[in-house]
Amino acid sequence: MTSKQNDILLLNLIREGDELAFKRVFESYFVPLCRYMFLFIQEKETVEDLAMDIFTYLWENKNEIQIHTSLKSYLFQAAHNKSLNIVRQRKKILSIDKLDIELLESDDQKLELHELQEFIQSAIMDLPDKCKNVFQLSRFENLSNQEISSQLNISVKTVEAHISKAIKKIRKILGDLYLFFC
């Protein structure tokens, strides 16, 4: 029996309420899903919670779920989507332009943050035009790599390369600043 046939059989059994079939799917895919999501999130507890959410959703919606590929593909796509949602959510929270300066306690901290923002902004402005544009679309307009790729008519790999290059340059400047102030 092929993997796809096995998945179809297991899914049909799950739809009938077969807890053993569900347990088998859980035992087969829980750890691989966690490992996959850990590539994006790097927090064991969060990853495990997300994986549990996926399996809970599968069980609770077993009669409504339409799987057009394989059960494995469905589960990994769900894991991918949940991981990206967390990454996007965190990116918005940690976005430099959204820092609430009022939460800082002293004028010195406000000045240091302002200087840091200026250094980062300067580093961004020094990037090559295409790289700068891609980075700004990613970090300040919160577009996905796929959206940037479509908008600029470049490959997703090129988008990733531009973002990586920008981050390396900013990290280098921040590292140099750290060495300068220490």
Residues of the chain with CATH 1.10.10.10: 102-181
Q: What is the pLDDT of residues 42-67, one digit of tens each?
A: 888 999 999 999 999 999 998 888 87
Q: Which amino acid is at 34?
A: C
Of 59, 53, 79, nearest to 10 by C-alpha is 59
- Cβ-based neighbour number of residue 162 at 10 Å: 24
Please state which CATH class domain 3-93 belongs to: mainly alpha
Q: How far apart are CA 33 and CA 55, in angstroms?
A: 10
Q: How far apart are CA 130 and CA 127, in angstroms?
A: 8
User: Over 70: is that where the pLDDT of 94 sits?
Assistant: no
Residues of the chain with CATH 1.10.1740.10: 3-93
pTM above 0.75, yes or no: no
**Which positions ≥6 away from 32 have C-beta within 8 Å?**
76
User: Over 90: is that where the pLDDT of 86 sits?
Assistant: no
Domain 102-181 has CATH 1.10.10.1150: no
Q: What is the pLDDT of residues 4-18, one digit of tens each?
A: 777 788 888 999 999
pLDDT reported for residue 115: 67
Asked whether the beta carbons of 47 and 38 are under 8 A apart, the reply is yes
